[in-house]
Amino acid sequence: MRLSDRARDLPESGIRKFFELAEARDDVISLGVGEPDFSAPWAARTAAIDSLERGKTSYTSNRGMAALRERVAAHHERYDQSYDPAEEVLVTTGASEAVDLAFRALVDPGDTVAVHEPTYISYGPGIELAGGEQLTVPTRAEDDFALTRGSLEAAGAAEADLLVLCYPNNPTGATMTEEEHAAVAAFCRDNDLRVIADEIYAALTYGDDHASIATQPGMRERTVVVNGFSKAYAMTGLRLGYALGPIEAIDAMNRIHQYTMLSAPTTPQYAAIEALDRCDDEVTEMVDEYNRRRRLVVSRFNEMGLDTFEPGGAFYAFPDCGGDDEFFAEELLEAQGVAVVPGSVFGEGGEGHLRVSYATSMRDLKEATDRIATFVENR
Footprint on this chain of another protein (rule: CB under 8 A): 13, 15, 18-19, 22-23, 28, 30, 32-35, 37, 120-122, 170, 288, 292-293, 295-296, 299-300, 339, 341, 360, 362, 366
Pairing verdict, β 241-244 and 341-342? unpaired
Instruction: CB nearer to another protein: give 33 or 373.
Output: 33
- Burial label for 365, CB within 10 Å (0-12, 13-18, 19+), is buried
Positive or negative torsion for Cα 123, 126, 130, 132:
positive
Instruction: CB nearer to another protein: give 74 or 296.
Output: 296
Instruction: CB nearer to another protein: give 278 or 292.
Output: 292
Instruction: CB nearer to another protein: give 68 or 164.
Output: 164
Give the Cα separation of 90 and 88 in Å (integer): 7
Positive or negative torsion for Cα 306, 16, 315, 89:
positive
Instruction: CB nearer to another protein: give 19 or 62.
Output: 19
Give the Cα separation of 214 and 218 in Å (integer): 8
* Radius of gyration over every alpha carbon of the chain, rounded to an integer in angstroms: 20
* Nearest approach, Cβ of residue 360 and another protein (Å): 8
At residue 256, what is the residue type? Answer: I
Instruction: CB nearer to another protein: give 264 or 341.
Output: 341
Instruction: CB nearer to another protein: give 161 or 199.
Output: 199
What letter does residue 207 receive in the DSSP assignment?
Answer: S
What 3-state DSSP class applies to 244?
strand
* Nearest approach, Cβ of residue 340 and another protein (Å): 9
Give the Cα separation of 153 and 160 in Å (integer): 11
8 A C-beta contact, residue 29 and residue 368 = yes
Residue from 242, 262, 260 nearest 250 by CA: 242
* Nearest approach, Cβ of residue 249 and another protein (Å): 25
* Nearest approach, Cβ of residue 24 and another protein (Å): 10
* Nearest approach, Cβ of residue 30 and another protein (Å): 4
Instruction: CB nearer to another protein: give 172 or 216.
Output: 172
At residue 142, what is the residue type? Answer: E
Q: How far apart are the first and last CA of the chain?
A: 48
Give exposure, 312-332, as e/b (b: 16+ Cβ within 10 Å): bbbbbbbbbbeeebbebbeeb
Give the Cα separation of 194 and 173 in Å (integer): 24
* Nearest approach, Cβ of residue 292 and another protein (Å): 4
* Nearest approach, Cβ of residue 211 and another protein (Å): 21
* Nearest approach, Cβ of residue 33 and another protein (Å): 5
Instruction: CB nearer to another protein: give 252 or 365.
Output: 365
Contacts of 327 (CB under 8 A, 6+ apart): none
Q: What is the largest CA-CA distance in the chain?
A: 60
* Nearest approach, Cβ of residue 119 and another protein (Å): 11
